[in-house]
Amino acid sequence: MVADVVSNATDSASHFSIPNLVFENRTRLDATQFDTVDQHGSSFHVVAVKAAYQLGACDAKGIAALSPIVGATLNIEDRYFDDDQDTGVRQESDFAPYKPACDVIVNATAHAPGGQPATEFQVRLSVYKLKHPNNTASAAPLIDKHLDIGGERSFQKKCALWRLLQWAGLCATFGLVKPNPWRSSVPHGVTSVPLRYTFANGGQCRIDEGGTSLYESSEENPVGRGFARRWYLDAKPGKSFAAPQISALGGPLTALQFWHTANGAALPAPVGMGVVGRGWLPRRLLTGTFENKVEWGEDEVPRLPMDFDFAWYNCAPRDQQCPYLGGRETFSLMNLCNVRHPSATHDIKGNTLLRFSLPLDQLFLMAVDGDSKLMFQRLVIDTVVIEPDENRVDVVWRTLLATDIDLRVARLMQISEPEQIARLDHVLQGQEALSQAASADSQLAGAAQ
């Protein structure tokens, strides 16, 4: 169960006094600036920017074009599938103060190769940073993930005669061997399965009868399938329970694992390519140790726990988190779009491929401090959301500015020409060299004293 969250507090609200920053957005993208304070009391200005692209026709190499979508906006709150919290988060709020890695989220439907019914097939997500342009053979994979997709099946109670035979075996072994009364049905062929955690290992048990309420859920995925306890199975009149259809490579959840879970064991970890819930394990553990506080002072304000890990703001599965992106990364999806998708190609095995590369667009801040000195800072891509069913790719850039450098104005700029980007790189390199030199002089001065 999720513990009650009551955060630490500072002595007074004045501790969080943050200097004002005038933010000017000189781009056509949706951007915002807000302030944040970490668990140590350090404050920062945060800038977040969002762009969206429509998938278009493929070039000769099978790479789909990306066209900007006008009017894309930052998510001010979490968005759910079908606007229903019980179906899982589709996209999280973009107002995270900091992500230590880049999230790559795929909200898609898994499609069987060739659009033909199959009892099992694979899907794949790959992200490459090309070492040399137009040479995929030299690409180093940042993400490479496979999942198994299965047809509809269920866990069914074995017939009475079979359970009687198992009972006889139980007696013969003096109770040392506990037979499994459940079996898995033969999977049906499917042409598509929504790639959501509602079809992965997990779930919950709930009974509300006669004023009595019993509840237990999988702490790693309460919206999935396959989680059931003995008290729930004994109380439910049904003899059949839906089995998960999304699993890691190596095989789906078995009837024996289902039975072990009923007797108290944990389910195998759920897998997927979408957002991992904020309160789900293991993500929940990153929030740190919270202090329970009964009463709050009039001027006290919440603060993060001292052992809070900002990786909590990364919402993608761990194997879909990678170093920050900067443009020109290539994405490849296998069997994650309809065979007739306008941006799709097909390999010799009949798998449907969807490939695209992020634009070279670069975003940076040009800031002025109290002494009218200029400072430049590049934004990084820390969130990519791919939604083939919507023919859309969302990209979020972010950066932080420490408030103790007394910045007064910050302008958001966008460039895309290679010559412009080269000049920005040169400026940033010079700025870094000056910063290092100033730090060295300060250390020498301190040593001399």
User: How far, in Å, CA of 161 to CA of 184, rounded?
Assistant: 17
- Cβ distance 226 to 201 under 8 Å? yes
User: How far, in Å, CA of 268 to CA of 258, rounded?
Assistant: 10
pLDDT number for residue 448? 62
- Cβ distance 443 to 388 under 8 Å? no
Angular region, 297: left φ>0, alpha ψ -120 to 50, beta rest: beta
pLDDT number for residue 11? 38
- pLDDT (tens, 9 = 90+) of the chain, 449 residues, equals 333 333 333 333 345 678 899 999 999 999 999 999 999 989 999 999 999 999 999 999 999 999 999 999 999 999 999 999 888 999 999 999 999 999 999 999 999 999 999 999 999 999 998 765 555 555 679 999 999 999 999 999 987 555 455 554 555 544 555 689 999 999 999 999 999 999 999 999 999 877 778 999 999 999 999 999 999 998 887 779 999 999 999 889 999 999 999 999 999 999 999 999 999 999 999 999 987 777 777 777 778 899 999 999 999 999 999 999 999 999 999 999 999 999 999 999 999 999 999 999 999 999 998 888 899 999 999 999 999 999 999 999 999 999 988 899 999 999 999 999 999 999 999 988 887 887 776 666 666 66
Neighbours of 309 (CB within 10 A): 16
Closest CA to 366 of 422, 418, 431, 417: 431
Order of all β-strands in the sheet with 240-242: 182-184, 154-157, 240-242
pLDDT number for residue 326? 92
pLDDT number for residue 339? 95
383 membership: H or E segment, kind and range: strand 380-387
The amino acid that residue 243 corresponds to is A
Closest CA to 243 of 230, 232, 259: 259
User: How far, in Å, CA of 237 to CA of 341, rounded?
Assistant: 43
pLDDT number for residue 8? 39
Give the burial class of 340: count Cβ atoms within 10 A of its Cβ; 0-12 exposed, 13-18 middle, 19 or more buried: exposed
Residues 6+ apart with CB under 8 A from 318: none
- Cβ distance 110 to 336 under 8 Å? yes
pLDDT number for residue 5? 34
- Cβ distance 274 to 88 under 8 Å? yes
Token output for 242: 């839906």
Only one residue has tokens 């450098």, namely 405
- Cβ distance 396 to 52 under 8 Å? no
Q: Using DSSP, state whether 258 is helix, strand or coil.
A: helix
The Cα-based distances of 8 to 11, 16, 129, 303, 424 in angstroms read 10, 14, 41, 5, 41
Token output for 115: 């659009």
Closest CA to 230 of 181, 273, 292: 181
User: How far, in Å, CA of 321 to CA of 104, rounded?
Assistant: 6
- Cβ distance 333 to 386 under 8 Å? yes
Alpha carbons within 13 angstroms on the beta-carbon side of residue 3 total 12
Q: Which residues pair with residue 74 across a beta bridge?
A: none
Token output for 211: 């004023």
pLDDT number for residue 198? 96
pLDDT number for residue 446? 67
